[in-house]
């Protein structure tokens, strides 16, 4: 039988964000394949109400407790359980009927719910890469202990995951992560000094949330993806190469010991990797746009410019230093991105502040969860005082 999967019950953390809404589009396209058990949002209560009325989940959570009353009243006529507060998100993922948790919230906030979901034996459709950036080693150990898969949603990692299908016995020589290079790829150092928030929010190929769009423009996103790839696929940082590929058609590649390279190609549509993570190893039929080989003229490649985008270098340094340093980079970056979006710092200040945070941080070789929470808090406070 082709395209048959057992119905999967899912929870979507961050359902009103870019990945969350696209996950719900996948559910809409295959209503017989998925049951939405829970949806959660940070602050966008109106969108959450609309989603709840449409998809009728068992439970809805809003992290922002000041919006809880509004949510509860708006859904009072429906048999939906309504909760408020971040702790409720950490708890809802443990609910028995859930098979897969889609972690699509922004930043460090994804860590604790993901840990709880793994401990409860849920499969993770990982869209929150910061979880792996901050605590990849710990997450891997937990996933092995609780025998639960971590399925990548990030397009590059989904591509690698797809290239690895059927290759488990074969030695991987190198992972090749492609990067669009972002909107400032061809800028000079001088031009980069003066880029605005609006310019940085315009990604050439992908439509995404604000935080990841800024991360893409600064190459921090690619640095995080190198870290994510290391932990997801067990490959050393020295065997992960970043290649700038401005068309974003090749989503990433795997080079094997015999020199053969497999690539996964597609249109830049996140619904494809979302659907693959939710239905792995089965591929469902989709109505999404196909590549048109008559209009696709060329695929080009170039080296990433580490002079212009030091964040990518910072990521490799953080991986080499290990311990809590990736957590430091993530915390500093979250503060920098927020400050840049509020137009309080320049685009080129971000990598400088991140580097300073890496120098000033107290190094912890084998961090516990408490150490990560403490490092995150300390670095946020420290970088805030510099801004
Ligand atoms: Mn990506």
User: Per-residue pLDDT tens for 225-278?
Assistant: 999 999 999 999 999 999 999 999 999 999 999 999 999 999 999 999 999 999
- Separation of 278 CA from ligand 1 center, angstroms? 17
The pLDDT of residue 111 is 95
The pLDDT of residue 205 is 85
9 phi/psi in degrees, rounded to 5: -95, 125
- Separation of 149 CA from ligand 1 center, angstroms? 19
- Separation of 225 CA from ligand 1 center, angstroms? 7
Instruction: Answer whether 275's CB lies under 8 Å from 127's CB.
Output: no
Is omega for the bond preceding 203 within 30 degrees of 0, making it cis? no
pLDDT classification of 2: cutoffs 50, 70, 90:
low
Instruction: Answer whether 47's CB lies under 8 Å from 20's CB.
Output: no
For tokens 């695929």, name the residue.
299
- Separation of 252 CA from ligand 1 center, angstroms? 10
Report d(CA 198, CA 315) in Å as an integer. 25
- Separation of 158 CA from ligand 1 center, angstroms? 9
DSSP per-residue letters across 260-314: -EEEEE--S-THHHHHHHHHTT------PPPP-TTT------B---TTT-HHHHH
Which DSSP helix (H) or strand (E) runs through 130? Answer: helix 129-145
Which DSSP helix (H) or strand (E) runs through 220? Answer: helix 220-233
- Separation of 140 CA from ligand 1 center, angstroms? 20
Token pair for residue 239?
């065997």
The pLDDT of residue 204 is 83
Report d(CA 338, CA 211) in Å as an integer. 8
- Separation of 174 CA from ligand 1 center, angstroms? 18
67 vs 205: which has the higher pLDDT: 67
Judge whether residue 31 has pLDDT over 90.
Answer: yes
Which DSSP helix (H) or strand (E) runs through 131? Answer: helix 129-145
Report d(CA 131, CA 139) in Å as an integer. 8
The pLDDT of residue 3 is 62
- Separation of 81 CA from ligand 1 center, angstroms? 33
The predicted-structure confidence for 142-185, as pLDDT tens digits, reads as follows 999 999 999 999 999 999 999 999 998 999 999 999 999 999 99
Across 350-363, average pLDDT: 98
The pLDDT of residue 207 is 81
- Separation of 354 CA from ligand 1 center, angstroms? 21
- Separation of 83 CA from ligand 1 center, angstroms? 31
- Separation of 178 CA from ligand 1 center, angstroms? 9
- Separation of 224 CA from ligand 1 center, angstroms? 9
Sorted by sequence, the CB contacts under 8 Å of residue 176 that are 6+ apart come out as 241, 242, 243, 252, 253, 254, 255, 261
- Separation of 31 CA from ligand 1 center, angstroms? 27
Exposure b/e, 89-125, CB count within 10 A at least 16 = b:
bbebbbbeebbbbbbbbbbbbbbbbbbbbbebebbbb
Judge whether residue 4 has pLDDT over 90.
Answer: no
The predicted-structure confidence for 178-212, as pLDDT tens digits, reads as follows 999 999 999 999 999 999 999 999 988 888 889 99
Share of the chain above pLDDT 90, in %: 96
- Separation of 206 CA from ligand 1 center, angstroms? 9
DSSP per-residue letters across 327-383: HHHHHHHHHHHHHHHTTSS-TTHHHHHHHHHHHHSPP-SS--HHHHHHHHHHHHHHH
Among candidate residues 117, 76, 115, the one with its CA nearest the CA of residue 95? 117
CATH annotation of 322-387 = 1.10.1740.10
CA atoms within 13 A on the CB side of 150: 31
Instruction: Answer whether 107's CB lies under 8 Å from 330's CB.
Output: yes
- Separation of 321 CA from ligand 1 center, angstroms? 23
- Separation of 337 CA from ligand 1 center, angstroms? 17
Report d(CA 157, CA 228) in Å as an integer. 8
- Separation of 155 CA from ligand 1 center, angstroms? 5
- Separation of 121 CA from ligand 1 center, angstroms? 26
3-class secondary structure for 45-73?
HHHHHHHHHHHCCCEEEECCHHHHHHHHH
Beta bridge partners of 84: 62
Report d(CA 216, CA 178) in Å as an integer. 12
- Separation of 52 CA from ligand 1 center, angstroms? 28
Give first-to-last CA distance, the chain, whole Å. 59
- Separation of 269 CA from ligand 1 center, angstroms? 11
126 phi/psi in degrees, rounded to 5: -85, 105
The pLDDT of residue 11 is 98
pLDDT classification of 5: cutoffs 50, 70, 90:
confident
Q: What is the mean pLDDT of the chain?
A: 96
CATH annotation of 8-152 = 3.40.50.720
Instruction: Answer whether 217's CB lies under 8 Å from 333's CB.
Output: no
- Separation of 205 CA from ligand 1 center, angstroms? 12
Domain ranges in the chain?
A: 8-152, 157-308, 322-387
- Separation of 230 CA from ligand 1 center, angstroms? 14
């Amino acid at each position: 039988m082709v395209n048959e999967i057992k119905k999967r019950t899912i929870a979507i953390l961050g359902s009103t964000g870019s990945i969350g809404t696209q996950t719900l589009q996948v559910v809409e396209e295959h209503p017989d394949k998925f049951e939405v058990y829970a949806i959660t949002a940070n602050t966008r209560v109106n969108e959450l109400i609309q989603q709840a009325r449409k998809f009728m989940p068992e439970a809805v959570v809003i992290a922002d407790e000041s919006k809880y009353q509004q949510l509860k009243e708006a859904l009072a006529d429906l048999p939906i359980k309504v909760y408020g507060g971040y702790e409720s998100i950490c708890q809802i993922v443990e609910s028995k009927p859930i098979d897969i948790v889609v972690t699509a919230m922004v930043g460090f906030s994804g860590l604790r719910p993901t840990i709880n979901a793994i401990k409860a034996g849920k499969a993770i459709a990982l869209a929150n890469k910061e979880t792996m950036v901050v605590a990849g080693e710990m997450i891997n150990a937990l996933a092995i202990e609780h025998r639960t898969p971590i399925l990548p949603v990030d397009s590059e990692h989904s591509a690698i995951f797809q290239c690895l299908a059927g290759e488990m016995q074969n030695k991987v020589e190198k992972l090749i992560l492609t990067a669009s290079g972002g909107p400032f790829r061809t800028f000079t150092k001088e031009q980069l000094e003066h880029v605005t928030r609006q310019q940085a929010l315009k990604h050439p190929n992908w439509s995404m949330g604000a935080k990841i769009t800024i991360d893409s423009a600064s190459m921090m996103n690619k640095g995080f993806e190198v870290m994510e790839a290391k932990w997801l696929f067990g490959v050393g940082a020295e065997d992960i190469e970043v290649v700038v590929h401005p068309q974003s058609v090749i989503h990433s590649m795997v080079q094997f010991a015999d020199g053969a390279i497999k690539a996964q190609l597609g249109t830049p549509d996140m619904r494809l990797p979302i659907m693959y993570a939710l239905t792995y190893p089965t591929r469902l039929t989709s109505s999404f746009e196909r590549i048109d080989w008559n209009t696709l003229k060329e695929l080009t490649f170039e080296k990433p410019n580490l002079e212009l985008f030091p964040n990518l270098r910072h990521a490799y340094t953080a991986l080499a230093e290990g311990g809590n340093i990736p957590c430091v980079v993530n915390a500093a970056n979250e503060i920098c991105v927020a400050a840049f979006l509020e137009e309080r710092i320049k685009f080129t200040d971000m990598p400088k502040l991140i580097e300073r945070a890496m120098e000033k941080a107290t190094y912890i070789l084998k961090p516990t969860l408490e150490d990560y929470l403490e490092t995150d808090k300390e670095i946020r406070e420290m970088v805030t005082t510099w801004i």
